[in-house]
Structure 1
Amino acid sequence: MAATALAAAAAALALPGPASAVEPGFAVRITELPATFGAGAESRTLTVVASTDRVRCQKVRWSLVLRVEGSTLDQVEVDRVEESGAFPVRVQSNGDTARITDVNLDPGQLCRGRTVTARYRIAFDDEAGTGRVQFQPQAFDAAGTLLQQSSGQSPVVGQQPAATESPAGEAEPTPTPGETRDSGDASIDGGGEATATPEPAESDDIGAVPASATGDGPSLLGPGLIVGAVLVFLGVALLLRLRMRTRGTPGHGAMPTGFHPGR
């Protein structure tokens, strides 16, 4: 791509500055002007046409004055193109303004009923800012006399800056149950002093599980089992003793072991 970086100015041209008057019988019109330019977008084409009502034909040298607002010249690339391809140019720059002038005369011939056309492909790089670009195409004859000029402008849409996170946008930690978080304006009625979280009232403990059921207090199961075992043992011993006494009571003999028929 034979692009011309406008910040790199070439040697001064042997052309006069903007003239206060132009030659009669010539006209310069911008026939193709981009509605807008986008930073980082593809190049757009600016087309300029010169015409005359003079009988005598002559050659034309094109010069384009370009001025940027919101961007810098090193963020602009310009191609001067013809049907055969890129056309060599020279560049002069001063601040936010550049002049791009053909090194050679235009290949066409400017005559009555015949026009001469200049085309420029213009692009802005990714870092270009939002603003506008102004164009002033000029047609000179071979001797450097300004024949006619025109003007136009287009807006430039720059890339939007990346969104930056502010400290206020940082996620706040989620408080755990029972934890009090200071919001920075802890109290409206307390003169700016943070108010402590109130302790639960005694009525909040109604229906609480007894300590003995949760395993936190002493258990009565062990002593109860021991006492029960002792009582059972004593009961069995008492029953055995009563049975022994019953067997040893007089009048209660042993049952006969045989049968004796009557005589």
Structure 2
Amino acid sequence: MTRLTMVLLLTAGVAVAAASPAYAQDEQVRVQLGLPGKFTAGEKAGGVTVKVTKRTEGCVSLRTALAIRLPGATPDLVAVQARIDDDWVNVPVTDNGGGLLVTDRTAPEDDELCKGKSRTTRYRMAFLAGAPAGTANIVAEAYTAGGELLGRAAGAKKVGGRLVL
């Protein structure tokens, strides 16, 4: 059901509404998505940051994930890495159907998130040579380690396509 909601958000283009704080049961978090100025297929990766701030009592183990919609893009045309323990680690990208590409969930280096604290997951994302030009809609989601959705934020960036030679 969560992925269906994400598909609807991306399809409707409600990036502004999705950036507001979200609720999951009694949890209240704020998710912020930082994107580079643009992406160009076949060139270097752009930095993507997901910052999650907890506003309610208690602590959770945090996981983040990205969803990408760029018409015509397939998982083999998108590369994502996450910064984990001072290394850049490849994050699998899969096709979730309907043109929605999703990453595996990733834990930040310190995954415990408590009231009044923030955690940031840093990603590098690249559209590889052959990726289509257009607007990429990107959604960041925050989950507990048990899979409960905490919140999401969305944004959109232009992608310059590049022909495969």
Q: What pairs up with 1:40-51 in 2 under 5 angstroms?
A: 40-51=42-53
Root mean square deviation, CA, Å: 2.7
Does the CA contact (< 8 Å) of 1:59 and 1:106 recur in 2?
no
Q: Does 1:114 align with 2:100?
A: no
Separation in structure 2 between the aligned mates of residue 145 and residue 45 of structure 1, nearest angstrom: 26
Q: Describe the SS at the equivalent of 1:127.
A: coil
**TM score, norm. by length of structure 2:** 0.74
Higher relative contact order (CA 8 A, sep 6+): 2
> Would you tell me which structure has more helix in proportion to its own residues?
1
Q: CA deviation at 1:127?
A: 2.0
| Residue number among 6, 9, 17 corresponding to 2:3 in the alignment | 17
Q: CA deviation at 1:70?
A: 4.8
Bigger radius of gyration: 1
Q: Does 1:79 align with 2:81?
A: yes
| Residue number among 28, 33, 38 corresponding to 2:31 in the alignment | 28
| Identity across matched positions, percent | 27
- The C-alpha deviation readout for 1:41-69, integer Å capped at 9, x for no partner, is 11101101000122212111112111112
Aligned residues: 146
Q: Does 1:159 align with 2:162?
A: yes
Aligned to 2:153: 150
Q: Which runs of 5+ in 1 are unaligned?
A: 1-14, 163-263
Separation in structure 1 between the aligned mates of residue 158 and residue 32 of structure 2, nearest angstrom: 19
Relative distance call for 1:92 and 1:161 in structure 2 (3 A) is: closer
Does the CA contact (< 8 Å) of 2:43 and 2:126 recur in 1?
yes
Relative distance call for 1:90 and 1:39 in structure 2 (3 A) is: closer
Q: Greater shift after overlay, 60-69 or 106-115? A: 106-115
Q: Which runs of 5+ in 2 are unaligned?
A: 7-21
